[in-house]
Chains A and B, each alone.
Chain A
Amino acid sequence: MKKVIELTAEKSKSIRKKKEFAGKSLAYILLSLIGISMILPFLWMISTSLKEAQAVFEQVKPWWRNWIPAKIVLSNYVRAWHAVPFGRFYLNSVIVGLCVTFGVVFTSSLAAYAFARLNFPGRDKLFFAYIATMMIPGSVVLIPQFAIIRIAGWVDTYRALIVPATFTAFGTFLLRQFFMTLPKDLEDAAKIDGCGFFGTYLKIILPLSKPALATLTTFTFIGNWNSFMWPLLVTNRTELRTLPIGLEYFQSQYTTDWSLLMAGSVMALIPVIIVFIFNQRFFVEGVKLQGIKG
């Protein structure tokens, strides 16, 4: 009797293993297919950027010659770099991105500490107001912001690109969610040692929150790097264009020069991809953080 049970157990185990194998194979096939469709457009873009302007339109044999051109030209990159002031666009994007990111992380972490750890009248109502504004469509706020910037005479200044983007409810919300998960014991110990509120924030909370701060930094920087409508509204002069706006201007100037356009786009993507590959775990963390219920 015992033997029979063992036999069926073994049988079901082998069936389960077979099923698991089938499931895994299916998963690999599916993920690889989707993965190829994700990566192929990027490869095509790079390949097109290395072709001579005329070769873009030609179909050659064997088929892989369409992907690895017989004559690889790097001059498209040089041409694109000189066609519009790409260096300036990069510089603008970096300046704006760094300032906004620093501002967001600094002001959000201060406010998040108050919301997560201090007791004061009206705290919950105020926090609710913060969350509520996250539900309001961006365009409702954007119109008066644009009017304010124009009336203040800030059009075509770095201030216009940096200041309004620096105070986000999202950053405060994200960090507050993380601070809530930190154990309180350390802070109590710090209090006994005579640490004030600011000391606690600086010496206990911030060092413990490195992953969350890195997440917010990465999110903010990339979000700002890709930001399109706002810089489009508040800049007119070439010298103040950020990379996306510069790239848009570039593509409206060279609509048919495809190898040039692709070279310009590749140049714009390189910094983002580098930042992403080195910080990719923070994206996963950030998405999980948003899921934590307050």
Chain B
Amino acid sequence: MKAKRKETIAAYLFLMPNLLGFMIFTSLPVVFSLVLSFFNWDILSPPKFVGLGNFVRLLGFTFNGKNFIPNDPHFWYYAFNTVFLMLVIPLEVFGALIVATAMNQKIKGITFYRTIFYLPTVCSGVAIAIMWKGLLNPDFGLLNGILIKLGNLLHLDLHGPAWFTSPVWARIAMMMIGLWLIIGGNNMLLFLAALQGIPRDLYEAAEIDGAGGLQKFWKITWPMISPTTFFIAIMSIIGGFQGGFMLAYILTGGGPGGATTTFEYYIFNNLYTFQKAGYAAAIAWVLFLLIFIFTRFSWKHGGKLVQYH
């Protein structure tokens, strides 16, 4: 009994530094931000209670006799942008799987390839964003230059777009950079580990039965790695809902005309630029609920697609 009490006290002493910081900078802020979402607050003057006002403004519609008009049309546009940018996720996931499959062919120089592929993940920061600003410059950028060269070669009049001045091309640029950043990163390493974990004899048995390469992939590899694929897909979508701030801040400032502003960017603008901490908290909580509902739904229904072993 005494030893047990001693262990409990020791445990809390071990936990204390982390737990204290965790309470002040993580747990309390979660509660604080929920409370904050019912207030108008510029952080300087005393907060003003507005009840559900922030949420009504954010999500509500007003009927003007003819049409329903959103109270905050920006929010819906930025929601559209966020989802648009998430369309690249399937490409990111399958791209990572293809790279991992190629890496798993017992090739030489795997460390070399892995280092190069992981480089963008490590560097992902402002410097990389500035680099891409140059690469996509219509006057001298590498990408448009390559397109022109390719056009000359094929006798076609190819020329790249002015990436950051058109809403659609600006979004495509963001997606392209996102794909470049992530394709050889953590997801690829997770896939590679999953592929290496598949027992060899499964393939050997299939070969004796005369299975071809594609058959082996769909009948063995795909089901065996399905838990990893499921995990990566969900984490990518959760990340997608919260992404797109840093790149857009450097490359487009959220433009043109707000075309690359995402949820995250809108929260930043409200918090920092417009000094509306309460409204920012309301958006953050809507985002949280969206992610929560999505995660619950996919665990419940997506779990059927996964074969655990």
Q: Which residues of A contact B (CB under 8 A)?
A: 16, 19, 23-24, 26-28, 30-31, 34-35, 37-42, 44-45, 48, 56-57, 59, 106-108, 110-111, 113-115, 118-121, 123, 126, 129-130, 133, 135-148, 150-151, 163-164, 166-167, 169, 172, 196-198, 201, 222, 225-226, 228-229, 232-233, 243-245, 247-248, 251, 258, 261-262, 264-266, 268-269, 272-273, 276-277, 280, 283-284, 287-288, 291
Question: Could you list 28 examples of A-B contacts with CB < 8 Å?
Answer: A16-B207, A31-B113, A35-B116, A38-B120, A39-B116, A39-B119, A41-B131, A57-B139, A130-B22, A133-B22, A133-B27, A137-B291, A139-B287, A143-B29, A147-B32, A163-B21, A166-B21, A167-B22, A172-B18, A225-B125, A226-B124, A244-B125, A245-B126, A264-B127, A268-B126, A268-B127, A291-B190, A291-B193
Looking at the complex, which one of A34, A35, A137 makes contact with B287 (CB distance below 8 Å)? A137
Contact B295 A135 (CB under 8 A): yes
At the interface, yes or no: B28 with Cβ under 8 Å from chain A? yes
Contacts of B285 in A (CB 8 A): 140
**How long is the Cα–Cα vector from A64 to B18 in the complex, in angstroms?**
55
Q: Given A40-B142, A248-B250, A261-B130, is A120 in contact with B242 using a C-beta cutoff of 8 Å?
A: no
Measured CA separation A284–B121 after assembly (Å): 12
- Answer whether residue B169 sits at the interface, using C-beta atoms and an 8 A cutoff: no
Flag B113-155 by CB within 8 Å of A: 1 or 0 each: 1111111101111111011111101011010010000000000
Chain B residue at minimum C-beta to C-beta distance from A55:
B140
Since A133-B27, A283-B118 are in contact, a sample of 15 more A-B pairs with Cβ atoms closer than 8 Å, ordered by chain A residue number, is: A27-B101, A108-B18, A114-B15, A130-B22, A135-B292, A138-B242, A139-B280, A145-B25, A146-B277, A167-B25, A228-B246, A261-B133, A273-B119, A277-B115, A280-B114
| B29 surroundings in chain A (CB, below 8 A) | 140-141, 143-145, 148
Q: Is residue B98 within 8 Å, beta carbon to beta carbon, of the partner chain?
A: yes
Cβ–Cβ contact B134 & A45, under 8 A: yes
**Residue of B10, B127, B183, B241 with highest tally of chain A CB at under 10 A:** B127
* Nearest 9 pairs of A and B residues by beta carbon: A167-B21, A144-B29, A111-B18, A226-B125, A114-B14, A144-B32, A27-B102, A265-B127, A120-B11
User: Bound state CA distance, A39 and B115, in angstroms?
Assistant: 11
B17/A107 in contact, CB under 8 A? yes
- Hey, which chain A residues are within 8 Å of B180, CB to CB? 37-38, 41
Contact A284 B18 (CB under 8 A): no
Q: Are A169 and B26 within 8 A (Cβ)?
A: yes
- A143:B277 contact, CB within 8 angstroms: yes
Complex contacts, A106 vs chain B, CB 8 Å: 17
- Which residue on chain A has the smallest CB distance to residue B188? A287
**Contact indicator B33/A143 (Cβ below 8 Å):** yes
Which residues in B have some Cβ–Cβ distance to A below 8 Å? 4, 7-8, 10-12, 14-15, 17-22, 24-30, 32-33, 36, 41, 43, 98-99, 101-103, 105-107, 111, 113-120, 122-128, 130-135, 137, 139-140, 142, 145, 180, 183-184, 186, 189-190, 193, 207, 213, 228, 238, 241-242, 245-246, 249-250, 264, 267-268, 271-272, 277, 280-281, 283-285, 287-288, 291-292, 295
CB distance from B269 to the nearest CB of A (A): 12
